[in-house]
Copies of this chain bind each other. A is one copy, B any other.
Amino acid sequence: MRERQILDAAVQVFAEHGFHQASMDEISDAAGISKPMIYTYLGAKDELFVACIRREAGRLIEAIGEAVDENLRTDEQLWRGLRAFFEYVNDNRASWTVLHRQANIQGEPFSGELAEWRDRAVALIAALLTRATAATEQPVQTEQMEPFAAALVGAGESMLDWWIDHPEHTADGLSRRLMNLMWLGFGDMVQGNRWKPPS
């Protein structure tokens, strides 16, 4: 379909040059479709970029969602989600670049768009972790869990950036490292272990 062609090209070009350096001319060339059509189908540059974010974020979420089976144990859900995340990004570098490196800019007309998706992801993970503690002696409320979830998401993103410069590692290996770091710490916490600042 027309829209698909355009979005494919746009994601490619935005990822390569960034939102501002990317020109509508280049996108229309890459898509093999004239500029007026782009405006007709997807609106102005801002809106086009938002459409890119929506599609790519949706695909990422979907990929993760498919990997996770809600009937599994929490840690395994998390583990599978993480691995799916790493794998998806590894396979869709342009997609990720657009989402993480270009859409994350403040002060742009599209600033809010990505924030929403991020919030949604954080909320999902927070809920997941919360459920994991529900049966324990120290259940935690979802709001309390959000900063952890945010940390987890950020840790993942950051590892990914690092991965780009160290491609000798595997998605599996990195996912495992992150699980080790986060899940063990998380488990300790749930069990009431606390790190305490020296008084």
Contact = CB atoms under 8 A, between A and B. Distances in A.
A148 interface: yes
Contacts of A106: 15-16, 18, 97, 101-102
A117 B147 CA distance: 25
Given A105-B102, A188-B184, A147 B122 contact: no
B158 A107 contact: no
Contacts of A58: none
Contacts of A179: 195, 197
Interface residues of A, number: 57
Interface stretch (A3-11, A30-38, A47-55, A170-178): A170-178
A195 B161 CA distance: 23
A75 interface: yes
B185 A197 contact: no
Interface string A104-117: 11111000000000
A77 to B, nearest CB: 11
A148 B122 CA distance: 21
Contacts of A73: 198
Given A105-B18, A152-B155, A147 B177 contact: yes
A187 to B, nearest CB: 8
Contact of A161 (B150, B158, B189, B193): B150
Interface of A: 15-18, 20-21, 73, 75-76, 79, 97, 101-102, 104-108, 118, 122, 146-148, 150-159, 161-163, 166, 169, 174, 176-186, 188-189, 193-195, 197-198
Q: Which 10 A-B pairs give the minimum distances between C-beta atoms?
A: A154-B158, A185-B185, A150-B162, A18-B107, A184-B188, A151-B155, A155-B155, A184-B185, A20-B20, A154-B154
